Amino acid sequence: MPPKAKAAGKGRAPAKRKLAEEFPPGEVLTDTGKKSWKLGPPVGKGGFGLIYLAEPNSEKPVGPDARYVIKVEPSENGPLFCELNFYTRAAKPDLIQKWLKAQNLKQLGVPKYWGSGQHDKAGKRYRFMVIDRLGTDLQKKFEECGKRFPRKLVLQLGLRLLDTLEFIHEHEYVHADIKASNLMLGHSDPNQVYLVDYGLAYRYAPDGVLKEYKEDPKKCHNGTIEFTSIDAHKGASPCRRSDLQILSYCMVQWLCGRLPWEDRLQDPVYVRDSKIRSQENISEFLSQCFPTQDKPAEIQVFMEEVMSLGYNDKPPYERLRSILQNGLKSIQAKDDSKLEFTPVNGEPTLPAKKTTKRKKAADKAEESVADGSPIKKAKPSKKTEVNGVKKSPKAAARPRKLLSAGKQGDHKSRVKETATQTSPGLSLRSRGRKKVSS
């Protein structure tokens, strides 16, 4: 994420991170377990890393049917180091297999980690990580569907992500950056979806000891601005309820096409306060999102359940799954394990706004993150609409009076507080992120 909160919109390249140089096909990397891996051609490129097709080292060149990918970054960069901490502690194949058996699951949306290490070339040191090869990301599918997913599909995705988040949470981590571009379909099974990019993953309970709620002004708005949790907006470290709140925003966007605060993503205070108001009256928030059709009742119940959680509460995963399953029953559907990405009939629920120069610049900036090209700063619009009334940015950004820190941190009752398709492997398109220490 950008170093300044005011620039917390889309598409800012991480500051002061070195770019990875491209290795030729056939380069051999040796991981910490002494296993050698041969690189194929690069299949993904971001502002600070490269992704290659890969296979265990042999005399054969790496072909287009490769089963693995390797993500490479200069060793001093932070995101891959953070990812590796997560993968080595929580996503080794034996841990995933043990969880699948214990939970009676067939699949889990966490890529398997196969190795990592450091590689020296031309006097420079690089860090690398090997995981399963994956397919296309959901952001591309979302755009292909006209930026609206069918209700059945959204509920299926929600159920898959609940399984994934429960696994992550039970292994002491939260993801903190759930979004369509960080969700990828399986390479061999397009009906499976994987949560990727753990560069912002946070160990909320090291050795089982929960972190306390504490706001840090230097960490405000960390994450991807349109989806980030209210905890993160206030500078508190992410927790389990944070992930579920992000998931609820994603599901609403997938259903209606656009979140109400997406018109002013360059103003993080406005976005934060809009989210706080949405939590104070979830019914009214959903009426804004679905003005021309019935509100999805299950989404309201889901958000209310998440809203009732305290900072350190363990989420009721089974209860949340039941809510989404009841939503499927209400539309006479069931989770048949098939993800159907079909356009929704009719016009988008929220009318599309006229593209502004700022929006065009933000989109261009996001593309630059993927290809490493320079990013130009977007100029903020002079006026915007807040609850249907045009106001100046200064007036619109004026924060509402918030609750005390104590009530923000602990609340059990009604809560007032509130690339590009990089690869067959990992998404490098992470918009608006900050460097996070592990």
Q: Tokens 């209860």: give the residue.
A: 319
User: Which residues fall within 8 angstroms of residue 59, CB to CB, at 6 or more apart?
Assistant: none
Residue 177: active-site member: yes
- Residue 111: DSSP 8-state: P
Cβ–Cβ < 8 Å for 317, 125: no
Contact 216, 236 (CB under 8 A): yes
Identify the helix (H) or strand (E) that includes residue 97: helix 93-103
Q: At what angle do helices 282-289 and 240-256 cross, to 10 degrees?
A: 30
Inter-CA distances, 43 with 70, 306, 380, Å = 10, 38, 34
- Classify residue 179 as left (phi > 0), alpha (psi -120 to 50) or beta: beta
Please give the Cα distance from 332 to 315 (Å, whole number).
27
- Inter-CA distances, 17 with 6, 13, 47, 76, 122, Å: 20, 9, 8, 8, 19
Quick one: tokens of 93?
């194949």
* Identity of the residue numbered 57: N
Closest CA to 164 of 209, 215, 228, 103: 103
Q: Which of 163, 177, 243, 267 is catalytic?
A: 177
Question: Which are the catalytic amino acids?
Answer: 177
